[in-house]
Amino acid sequence: MNDHRRLGRELGLFDADPLIGSGLPFWLPAGAAVRKAIEDYVHELERRHGYQHVNSPVLGKRELYEKSGHWAHYAEDMFPPMAVGGEEFVLRPSLCPHHALIYRSRQRSHRDLPLRIAELGGMYRAELSGVLGGLSRVRAIQLNDGHTFCAPEQAAAEVSAALDLIEAAHAQLGIRAARYRLSLRGEGAKFVDDPGMWQRSESVLREVLRQRGRAFDAEPGEGAFYGPKIDVQIADSAGRESTLSTVQVDYYQPDRFDLGYAGGGRPVMVHRSVVGGLERLMAHLIEVHAGAFPAWLAPVQAVVLPLSDAELPAAEDLVRRSVAAGLRTELAPADRGTLGARIRAHRLVPYQLVVGPREVASGQASVRLRDGSQAGPVPLAELADRSRSRF
């Protein structure tokens, strides 16, 4: 079984320390490289689809979350307030209140809509120790989040466009959804008591799923406190299911923050996360690829293998040229073992560049692929292009 907790530590992707605390893993260099590649990909994907990127603080005054409704409906999942200078601040449990204020910070017209903003930002949840595990359930989450503010008649199209992004990203990352779930209102104080608002949101989501021909399971009690959502469910190597990507239609927070636009009325807020929290995403990708990431995601994309010490200067020069071309490259010199042993030690690296006397004379390298096949001499620029191929 490809358990990401075991693989992640074996491959030097992430680790944890009791002095930092449970549910607070840290990224090692290899894991940070994979994460950065994902961040760059999603940022560019969003940019190409009309999103503007913003940054907002991980703290907010308690009053912010009282206004958004999080304090009344979600406080048990939040860290307690911190008293500073006579005010109470809270680690944010969600980015949406901050994005509502970013929308409200300028006068908006109907011509500005839909306004799409996105952020990779930290959010924090006071999870109990017993439910924490590896990267899949953590207390500090780096969330790929985004919100579209649109006129009511634009909401369905924006939900469908968000699903397009989610499905494109999943295909690129090698993710296969276990199922789609329409998560609905349940009973109790956790959910905003406005049946009409819930029905409007649910109707939009159902219609989009119907138009796309997407099968789904409707599950009461799994919605957000302010509205229903489409959840894209994934399964780990043990068959345990969790939510990765989401799309939500929200009429509640625009009312709470008194959002508006000239020449119209109240915007609808479409929440969407293309790849969810990076921690849960990485846990899934580690298990899906068993460490053999696609070339564009691999923490090390190329390893240079001189046959002997005589080729070391040429190999070091090749490493420098590879890095300059944009490849994440390492050197595995001859003093680390036989060529076969070094190849086995780097079996997960997509490109193995072997440098012998013939390659030194020609100024090139013989390229061996991860599957053991030989590609012969390949220009570095071509290898770099292959490793950047994401769209």
Q: How confident is the model at residue 362, as a pLDDT?
A: 82
Same domain, 14 and 80: yes
Same domain, 149 and 14: yes
Percent of the chain whose pLDDT exceeds 70: 99
- What CATH code is carried by the domain that includes residue 117? 3.30.930.10
Q: How confident is the model at residue 388, as a pLDDT?
A: 80
Question: CB-based contacts of 317: which residues, under 8 Å, 6+ apart?
Answer: none
pLDDT tens digits along 314-367 = 999 999 999 999 999 999 999 999 999 999 999 999 999 999 998 888 877 889
Q: Quick check: 389 pLDDT over 80?
A: no
Is position 39 within any domain? yes
Q: Name the domain boundary from 225, 258, 289.
A: 289
Q: Name the domain boundary from 256, 289, 322.
A: 289
Contact present, 23 and 95 (Cβ < 8 Å): no
Measured over all CA atoms, what is the biggest interatomic distance in the chain, rounded to whole angstroms? 77
Same domain, 277 and 317: no
Same domain, 217 and 339: no
Contact present, 270 and 148 (Cβ < 8 Å): yes
pLDDT tens digits along 126-163 = 988 878 889 999 999 999 999 999 999 999 999 999 99
Is position 81 within any domain? yes
Is position 149 within any domain? yes
Same domain, 270 and 338: no
Same domain, 256 and 279: yes
Is position 296 within any domain? no
Q: Name the domain boundary from 258, 289, 320.
A: 289
- What predicted TM-score, i.e. pTM, was given to this entire model? 0.93
Residue 271: strand, helix, or coil: strand
Average pLDDT taken over every residue of the chain? 94
Is position 294 within any domain? no
Query: pLDDT grade, residue 369 (50/70/90)?
Result: very high
Query: pLDDT grade, residue 36 (50/70/90)?
Result: very high
pLDDT tens digits along 57-68 = 999 999 999 999
Task: Tell me how far apart the terminal alpha carbons of the chain are, to the nearest angstrom.
Answer: 31
Same domain, 163 and 276: yes
Same domain, 131 and 229: yes
Is position 19 within any domain? yes
Is position 216 within any domain? yes
- What CATH code is carried by the domain that includes residue 356? 3.40.50.800
Same domain, 273 and 312: no
Query: pLDDT grade, residue 189 (50/70/90)?
Result: confident
Burial, 18: exposed, middle or buried (Cβ in 10 Å; 0-12, 13-18, 19+)? exposed
Range of the domain at 276: 4-289
pLDDT tens digits along 230-282 = 999 999 878 889 999 999 999 999 999 999 999 879 999 999 999 999 999 99
Tokens of 77: 């999942």
Work out the angle between the directed axes of helices 29-48 and 155-173 (0-180°, nearest 10): 140
Amino acid at 86: G
pLDDT tens digits along 70-80 = 999 999 999 99
DSSP 8-state code for residue 251: S
**Domain count of the fold of the chain:** 2
Same domain, 372 and 283: no
Same domain, 9 and 136: yes
Is position 297 within any domain? no
Same domain, 249 and 321: no
